[in-house]
Amino acid sequence: MTENYYPDLSPLKTGLAGTCPRCGRGRFFAGYLKVARSCPSCGLDFSFADAGDGAAWFVMLIACVLGVGSILGIEIAYSPEWWVHVLIAVPVLIIMPIILLRPMKGVLLAQQWKTNAHEGRLHK
């Protein structure tokens, strides 16, 4: 029986694209954040996928640093009225996490598959 050949793909590339970490062709997500059951192209079972809160934590870190940094930078440089801050801060602090969450989850799950990471267990 011959085994299929799959190229060594970058978890960053497949995760950002939302494609299968093994073949790079099938879709990894069945919805915005819902992981598909398996790859329609190569048949890889996605039951291994468990990012927990990792993606949300990284997205919050990135969005808060960029969001608060831009708000403080605008305040120091221009000292605008309060409503200008609202017009800038609300989209940055709400839209940026929405845009970043799916790619970040894809990268973490692709890295999980690549390294064969599993939940830690104690041996008795």
Residue 6 lies in a domain: no
Residue 5 lies in a domain: no
1-45 pLDDT per residue, tens: 456 889 999 999 999 999 999 999 999 999 999 999 999 999 999
Residue 123 lies in a domain: no
DSSP assignment letter at 3: P
Q: What is the pLDDT of residue 74?
A: 93
| Chain mean position to CA 92 | 18
Residue 122 lies in a domain: no
pTM here? 0.86
Q: What is the pLDDT of residue 1?
A: 47
Residue 41 lies in a domain: yes
Residue 1 lies in a domain: no
77-95 pLDDT per residue, tens: 999 999 999 998 888 899 9
Residue 124 lies in a domain: no
Query: 33-37, 95-99, 118-122: lowest mean pLDDT where?
Result: 118-122
Residue 21 lies in a domain: yes
Query: What is the domain count for the chain?
Result: 1
Long-range contacts of 80-89, Cβ-Cβ distance < 8 Å, separation of 24 or more: none
Q: Which residue segment(s) compose the domain that 109 sits in?
A: 11-115
Return mean pLDDT, the chain: 92
Q: Is the pLDDT of residue 73 over 90?
A: yes
Radius of gyration of the chain from its Cα atoms, rounded to whole angstroms: 19
Distance CA 89, CA 93 (A): 6
Q: At which residue do the structure tokens 């299968």 appear?
A: 20
